[in-house]
Structure 1
Amino acid sequence: MPPLDLVFDATQANFEADVLQASLQQPILVDFWAPWCAPCLTLGPMLEKIVADFNGAIKLAKVDTDVEAQLAGAFGIRSLPTVVLVKDGQMVDGFMGALPEGQIREFLARHNIVAADADATLADDPDAPPEAATPAESVEETIARLQQEIAAQPDKSELKLDLAIALMQAGNTESAEAELDALPANLSTDSKAKRLRSQLDLAQALKDAPDLATLQARVEKNPDDFAARDMLGVRLLLSGDAAAGLDQFLHILRVKRDFSDGIAKKRLLAAFAILDDEDLVGSYRRKMASLLF
């Protein structure tokens, strides 16, 4: 995980000082996301990892668009996730969708942003031109490329799985689910397919769901409001507070295991499929097992 001062929540109140003014000394990535956005769950941890790897050469500002709608509107944000690069007080570039890690690094390289330990090498020869980077492929370009490849190789099912993942990254959950459902049986158990299915299930759970504060208030008022507790767990999970979300599902499993046809166990398994923190997953797998067996 990156140091706390390298990743922070940006709001309308602190944006001028902590993002625009701060970018005069250090580039800042601004991640516009929302708790109900499944691709945001994929992108957020990846951006934090990259920021940690860059050793202070760049910061990450996270904007929850559900809370900071006016700030998102000022940037004309129309799709989530959207990432904007701010340098020297100006928005200089950006991208939409949960791009692969390599493409995000290429995006930063195009703006001469390198890890702090690599900066010293550049300083030895300030006149050396930056290495040419392959232009990052946007998620829309990825979808178009995969569709063309599928048309040329319709029997190559792996391409269809990649297309389903790209559609999910673009926030097109209905098309992603349709592509996933159409995959042959031999790919339905693929680890990438299972992860995508879990992301889709969790995203679907928040369709028309109340916001985080409303759900928290419902649970505080009635701890046995298991429907609210279930949605609260999903919101917490997708907003990056994985442990708090998993705790909500464990509570349901402990108190009313059969609620909604055993939904708590299903939520836990879906969460385990999308989380990359092996220690956290292992800990909660053991907690779940202790309640089930």
Structure 2
Amino acid sequence: MSTTGRPTPTADTRTTTRGHRLTQSPLNIRGAVDLSALAPAKHQERLKEQTTNEDGVQIIPGPLVRDVTVEALQEFLELSLHVPLVIVFRSDRSQGSLELARTLTDLVRDLNGTIGLGIVDADNAPEIVQAFQIQALPTTVAVLGGNPVPLFQGTAAPEDASKALDSVLQAAQQLGVLGRLDGDENGRLPEPELPPHVKEARAALDRGDLEAAHAAYTKAIKENPGDDESKLALSQVELFQRITDRDPQEVLQAASTAPLTDVDAHLLAADVEVMARMPESAFARLLDVIRTVSGDERDRARLRLIDLFGIVGIHDPVVSEARKQLASALM
């Protein structure tokens, strides 16, 4: 029996990284689109400035029509922060869905980049179907500013589909999503130009040098204390540093028999759980510690919990609930 009252969890610590850079999947574990996975607002603002021409028109490299896979979904959602998009869910088993995809393809190409179309093969991307909570095929969804909006379900005549696209463009106008795609079949949403220290940190991460990345992000924050992106990246680097060369199963096994007063054991276990995409377990663990200890030890657990909130994503419902529990635990 665990002295913490929880069974030992099994950790799957496979994560998506670029070098050592932690990236989040836009599909969360509850089967919904996780907007907290998208790049921060400042990142998007820099990208908008970078891609706006002398006439004030934002031109984004990329095809007018593309297949959307699980691997490409995050980039597609980020594109919707700049260009209005539509997704049609199709299947080879549904002739109507294939016809609708062809109709939308023709209509979107006629709009000359003012709207983009993503085609999801529902049979080969069930994760996306689940994330968008698709109930029938075909289904068409608009994506504006990272937010999926149901458009229509079932087939549609070309004139009706055209009216639906017009409504998307009108909504995009009101939301200020006014970018255009240039039609380049090989084009991709570009990375924004970064400050020198951030470039240095990214390069260090790509070669796996966590110490150099830590130093570079620290410099970036010192130069710009309001750089929230670098603060988050620094927290991610520190998380990697804490668990590097640690065996996740050994860490969790040790914590399962450690008393809640063994703060170090539970801090490390919470790190492993977050990396294993088990934030609920990590937060519950640290909240138990906070309720049990006091003084400096309690403050250490509180600060680590807040740090992990930022890594998981402040808009994640799990974080919102844990914040409420933290406030209650501190009273």
- With normalisation by structure 2, the TM-score equals 0.45
Residue segments in structure 1 that go unaligned for 5+ positions in a row: 1-10, 12-30, 54-94, 107-113, 147-156
The aligned counterpart of 1:198 is: 235
Q: Which amino acid aligns with 1:264?
A: A
1:134 positional shift: 3.6
Partner of 1:263: 300
Shift of 1:233: 0.7
Q: Which residue of 2 aligns with 1:216?
A: 252
Counterpart CA distance in 2 for 1:133 and 1:192 is: 30
Q: Which residue of 2 aligns with 1:116?
A: 89
Q: Is the counterpart of residue 39 in structure 1 residue 35 in structure 2?
A: no
Distance 1:194 1:119 in 2: 46
Over the matched positions of the two proteins, sequence identity in percent amounts to: 17
In the alignment, structure 1 residue 289 sits paired with structure 2 residue 327: yes
How far off its partner does 1:186 sit?
4.8
Query: RMSD value over aligned CA atoms?
Result: 4.5
- Work out the CA distance in 1 between the residues paired with 2:256 and 2:229: 37
CA-CA distance at 1:102 after TM superposition: 2.5
Change in 2 beyond 3 A, CA 1:132/1:183: closer
Decide which structure has the larger Cα Rg and report it: 2
Q: Is the 8 A contact 2:88 2:101 kept in 1?
A: no
**Aligned-partner Cα distance in 2 for 1:116–1:163:** 41
Say whether the 8 Å CA contact 2:274–2:282 is kept in structure 1. yes
Q: Which residue of 2 aligns with 1:175?
A: 212
Which is helix-richer, 1 or 2?
A: 1
Q: For 1:249, give the aligned amino acid.
A: L
Q: Contact 1:161/1:193 (CA < 8 Å) preserved in 2?
A: yes
- CA distance in 1 between counterparts of 2:77 and 2:185 reads 11
Counterpart-to-counterpart distance in 2, 1:103 and 1:160? 28
Contact preservation (8 Å) 2:75, 2:189: no
Shift of 1:39: 3.1
- Confirm whether residue 235 of structure 1 aligns to residue 272 of structure 2: yes
Q: Distance in 2 between matches of 1:119 and 1:188?
A: 51
8 A contact 1:160–1:179 mirrored in 2: yes
Long gaps (5+) in structure 2 = 1-11, 34-70, 80-86, 91-96, 110-116, 118-182
CA distance in 1, matches of 2:278, 2:270: 9
Give, as a single letter, the amino acid of the residue that structure 1 aligns with 2:247. P
Q: Deviations over 1:167-215 (max 9, x none)?
A: 547754223212112226352332112211221222222133232x222
Which amino acid is 1:228 matched to?
A
Q: Which has the higher contact order (CA 8 A, sep 6+)?
A: 2
- Secondary structure of the equivalent of 1:208? coil
**What secondary structure is seen at the aligned counterpart in 1 of 2:26?**
helix
Preserved CA contact (<8 Å) 1:104 1:136: no
User: Is the counterpart of residue 279 in structure 1 residue 258 in structure 2?
Assistant: no
Equivalent in the alignment of 1:102:
75
Q: Give 3-state SS (helix, strand or coil) of 1:116's partner.
A: strand
Contact 1:206 1:231 in 2 (8 A): yes
Structure 2 SS opposite 1:182 = helix
Deviates more, 1:280-289 or 1:114-123: 114-123
- Scaled by the length of structure 1, the TM-score of the pair is 0.50
Query: Which residue in the other structure is 1:84 paired with?
Result: none
Aligned residue identity for 2:302: K
Which range moves more in the overlay, 219-228 or 234-243?
219-228
